[in-house]
Structure 1
Amino acid sequence: MPEGGRKPTTFRVDRSEGFGERLLGVLLDRAHEMPPQLIAPLVAEEVARVGGRDLSILLQDYEQMLLVPLPGRQLVVGDPEPIEDSPAGESFLSRKTVEVAQDGSVRMYLPLLDGSDQVGVMSVTLDSVDDDDRRLLRRLAGLVADMIVTKDAYTDLFFQARRRAPMSVAAEIQWSLLPPLSMTVPQVEVAGILEPAYKAAGDSFDYALNGDILHVAMIDAMGHGLDAATMATVAIGAYRHSRRADTGLSQVYAFMDRAINEQFGHEHFVTAQMMRLNIATGQLHWVNAGHPAPLLIRDRAVVDRLESPTTLPVGFGGEQPVVSERVLQPGDRLLCFTDGLIEEHQAGGEQFGEEQLIEWTNRVVSDHTGVRSVVRALSHALKQERGGITSDDATIFLIEWRGGDADHLATLD
C-alpha cells in the first residue's frame, strides 16, 4: 500500500456520448443497412440539428467540368456549379471548407473526401457559424463521402447524377475499371483524367500504394470501341494480378504480354508503362513498352523526358525489358500521358506534338498549384487547343513526390 495507507488515485475517462458523437454516430450506426436513397434525408435531418438548412450534395461529373446536384428527398436541387470559378469548385479543388456570407446567413461548402479522393461538395446554410459547427460539419461531410462511395458499389443513383451525356459501352467498362481519380498522402499525390469521358475505350491507368512503394501503370490498347476496352480490361487485370503477386517489373511485363497474346493473338497489342516509386526515398524504377516517355516537371517547368530503353508493346512477345532507374527530388512531378494527346490533328494537318504539350504544361503549372487542379486544367486546355477534338483517347496521369513520412498520422494528439 502507498505511504500513509491511501489507495492510488484512479482517473476515469468520460465515455458518455456527447452531442457531436451522437450526431455522427446515428449516421454511422445506420449506414450498414441504409438504402442509398435514404442517405440524403437522414443527413438533412442531422444538419437541421445544428441549425443548418438548404442542404445540397454536389458530385463531380465525368468530364470534370461541373459539380452536379444529387436529387433526393430534403435536398435542394439547383443548377450544376462549374468547378472553375465557383465557391463549390474552390472547396472541391482545395479540399477545404469555403464560407460565403449571405444576407444574414452563411453558405458553407464542405469537400466530400473519401480518403483523399474528391467525391464532390456538400453545401448548407446556417444563420451563423462557429468553430464547433465547422468541426462537426467537416466530419459529417467526410462520413457522407464514405457512405456515397460505399453505396455506389450497388446503386446507379450516383452514376446517373454524374453522367451529363450518353455514355458508350466501352466507356462504361473503362470507368468501372479505374481506381479513384486522385490520391493524397503526405509523401506523394497522384491524379488522372480520361478523355473523351463518354467515349473512352483503350486508355486506362492503375495504381496502388503498398507500404512505401507506389505502383503505377498506364496503358493504351490498340483500336477503338469495345474491342479496345476489352483488351484494356485484360491488360489491367493482368497487371494487377502480377503486381499483387509481388513480382518484379520485368515479370509484370512478361505476364501482361502473355495474357494479351494468348487472348487476342499476335496482331493485337497494348502500349504500357509500369512504374514503382519508393515514396520514402524517391527511388523510381520503370519499364517502357512502346509508350510515350513521361515528362519530368521541376520548379514549375518541364526539365526533362524520362528517356529509357523501350521494349515491344505488350502482346508482341518482346525480350525481357530493361528496368530504368532514377532518383527524384522532393517536389518533382512526373507527367504520364498516352499518344492520343500529342497525335491529334486535323485531316491533312500536322500533329499536335510533344513540343506544344510541353509549352502548355509550363503554362498550366505556372498558374495552378494542386496536382488535381493541374491535371484538370491541362487536359481541358489541351482539348481546347486541339480544336475540341478527341478522335483518340487522351489520358493524363500526374505524380508528385514530396518525401518525408506519415507517422504523425498514426499518433493521437
Structure 2
Amino acid sequence: MDRSESFGEALLGAILDRAHELPPHLLGPLVADVVERLGGRRPQVLLQDYDQLTLVPLPGEGLAEGEPEVIDDSGAGRCFLDAVPVELPEDDGVRVHLPLLDGGDQVGVMAVTLDSVDDDDRRLLHRISGLVADLLVTKHGYSDLFFRARRGEPMSVAAEIQWSLLPPLAMIMPRVAVAGILEPAYDVGGDSFDYALNGDVLHVVMIDAMGHGLDAATMAAVAIGSYRHARRADIGLSEIYDFMDRAVAEQFGPEHFVTAQVMQLDATTGRVQWVNAGHPPPILVRDHRVADRLDAPTTLPVGLGGPEPRIGELALEPGDRVLCFTDGLIEERKSDGEEFGEDQLIDCVNQLERTGRGVRAVTRALSHTLKRARGGHTTDDATLLMVEWRG
C-alpha cells in the first residue's frame, strides 16, 4: 500500500494540521493559502447577515474584499439558498461558489476563481469547504470576528441575548428538517425557539415572552433555559410544560407569562405531539398547500399556573411541514390600520410552497414576503419556525 501523501491529502492536511490551534483571525490566510495551492485566486468567505438579505465578505489577510452580495440576486445567493455549488464564467476563468454547510445549516459561501474547473477540482473544493464550515462554527464560539462581520446595524442588548440563546437557524437531516427566522433581527425582544434531535425524536419549542426589550429577553432566557433543562431530563410534554411554568412563575411572579408551543416529532413514524400554551395554532402544509391548523385544547401560558395540559397528536405524511409562528406576525397593522391576519399568512405560504424549495429557503422567503406585505412594519417580534418530516 502506497502511504505517501497525495496532492489532495496535502491540501486537506494543511487545514487539519493547523485547525486546533488556529486563532479565528487567521482563518482567512489559511483559506487563501490552500486556494492558492489549488491554483485559485480571489478567495472569499461570505457570511449571511442577521437580516438574511446579503452575504457579507469576511475580512482577513489573503481574502478578497468586495461589497455584500444580495442573496436574492447573485450566484453566491443561489448557492446559499439551494445549498448547491454554482459556477459562473468570468473573463479570467470560472468563479466557483461552494456552500458552507454544518449539519444542514448554511453557514455561508466560499468563493474562488480558477482558470478552469474539472471533477478533481470540484471534489477537492467540496471537501475544503466542508472543513472551512466546521472551522467557522467552532471558532465563532470564542471570537467576535464573525458576529461583527455579519452585522449591518447596531444590535440591542435584548437581541444580543436572544441570538445567544438560539440554536443554528436551520438543521437538515435525512428524516427531518427545521428552519427558523426572527425579526426584527437587530431588536428582537421576547420571541425565541429551540430544538434538539435526540435519537429518533425531534424536540421543538417556540416561545413569545410578554412585553418588549430587555425584560422580555430575560423572561425568554428563563423559559428557554428551563425548557432545555426539562428536555434533557427526558420527561414528557406535560412535565416539560409544568417545569417551565414553575420556573417562570417563581422568577417573575404571577403577572408575567410566556406563550409557548412545545412539540415532539417521532422521526421514524411521523407522529407529532404538542402542547399549546396560549400560542397561535401551528399550520399544517401538505402537498405544498396549507391543509389544516393544528388545533388542540390550549392551556394557560407558561408562568400562569395552568392545569395539566392536553396533548394534541397527528400522524404526518412524508413531506408534510408544520409552520409555527408568533402572534406578532398576524396581529401587525398595515398602513391602512387593518390587521394583517392569518388568511394573508396562508395565502403567502401557498404561493411560496409552489416553488418546491427547501424549508430554509421557504422560511426565509416567507418572512421577507410577509414583512413587505405588512408595509415593512414590525412593531412586535415576528418569528417563524418550520418543521418538515421527510419520511
TM-score bucket (shorter structure)? over 0.9
**Does residue 90 of structure 1 match 2:90?**
no
| 2:55 equivalent among 47, 56, 67 | 67
1:50-61 superposed matches below 5 A: 50-61=38-49
Paired position in structure 2 for 1:146: 134
Note the aligned Cα RMSD (angstroms).
1.0
Counterpart Cα distance in 2 of 1:173 and 1:347: 31
Paired position in structure 1 for 2:12: 24
Counterpart Cα distance in 2 of 1:390 and 1:169: 18
When normalised by structure 1's length, the TM-score is: 0.93
Paired position in structure 2 for 1:118: 106
Displacement of 1:116: 1.2
Residues 357 and 285 from structure 1, CA distance in 2 versus in 1: closer, same or farther, beyond 3 angstroms? same
| 1:354 equivalent among 332, 339, 342 | 342
| 1:235 equivalent among 219, 223, 228 | 223
Displacement of 1:25: 1.4
Displacement of 1:348: 7.9
Letter in 1 for 2:215: D
Paired position in structure 2 for 1:163: 151
Q: Which has the larger radius of gyration?
A: 1
Displacement of 1:102: 1.2
**Does residue 257 of structure 1 match 2:277?**
no
Counterpart Cα distance in 1 of 2:387 and 2:373: 24
Task: Name the stretch that deviates more: 24-33 or 180-189.
Answer: 24-33
Paired position in structure 2 for 1:301: 289
1:333-392: CA deviation from partner (whole Å, max 9, x where unpaired): 001000000000158822111111111111111135111110011000000111101000
Paired position in structure 1 for 2:214: 226
1:100-140: CA deviation from partner (whole Å, max 9, x where unpaired): 01124100000111121101001000001111110101110
Q: Which structure 1 segments of 5+ residues have no match?
A: 1-12, 404-413
Letter in 2 for 1:349: G
Paired position in structure 2 for 1:202: 190
User: Which secondary structure state, in structure 2, belongs to the residue aligned with residue 197 of structure 1?
Assistant: coil
**Does residue 100 of structure 1 match 2:55?**
no
When normalised by structure 2's length, the TM-score is: 0.98
Residues 15 and 280 from structure 1, CA distance in 2 versus in 1: closer, same or farther, beyond 3 angstroms? farther
Letter in 1 for 2:310: V
**How many residues end up aligned between the 2 structures?**
391
Q: Which structure 2 segments of 5+ residues have no match?
A: none
User: Which secondary structure state, in structure 1, belongs to the residue aligned with residue 163 of structure 2?
Assistant: helix
Paired position in structure 2 for 1:109: 97
| 2:66 equivalent among 68, 78, 87 | 78
Q: Is residue 158–residue 187 contact of structure 2 (8 Å, CA) maintained in 1?
A: yes
Counterpart Cα distance in 1 of 2:246 and 2:40: 57
1:238-280: CA deviation from partner (whole Å, max 9, x where unpaired): 0000000000000000000000000000000000010000011
**Does residue 318 of structure 1 match 2:306?**
yes
Counterpart Cα distance in 2 of 1:124 and 1:273: 43
Displacement of 1:15: 3.5
Letter in 1 for 2:38: V
Counterpart Cα distance in 2 of 1:104 and 1:237: 52
Paired position in structure 2 for 1:130: 118
Counterpart Cα distance in 2 of 1:75 and 1:360: 39
1:188-199 superposed matches below 5 A: 188-199=176-187
Counterpart Cα distance in 2 of 1:356 and 1:347: 15
Q: Percent of aligned pairs with the same residue?
A: 68
| 2:22 equivalent among 21, 30, 34 | 34
Letter in 2 for 1:357: L
Counterpart Cα distance in 1 of 2:193 and 2:277: 14
Residues 102 and 347 from structure 1, CA distance in 2 versus in 1: closer, same or farther, beyond 3 angstroms? closer
Counterpart Cα distance in 1 of 2:92 and 2:188: 47
Paired position in structure 2 for 1:45: 33
Displacement of 1:288: 0.4
Counterpart Cα distance in 2 of 1:219 and 1:144: 33
Counterpart Cα distance in 1 of 2:294 and 2:112: 46
1:270-320: CA deviation from partner (whole Å, max 9, x where unpaired): 000100000110011110000000000011110100000100000000000
Counterpart Cα distance in 2 of 1:203 and 1:28: 38
Paired position in structure 2 for 1:340: 328
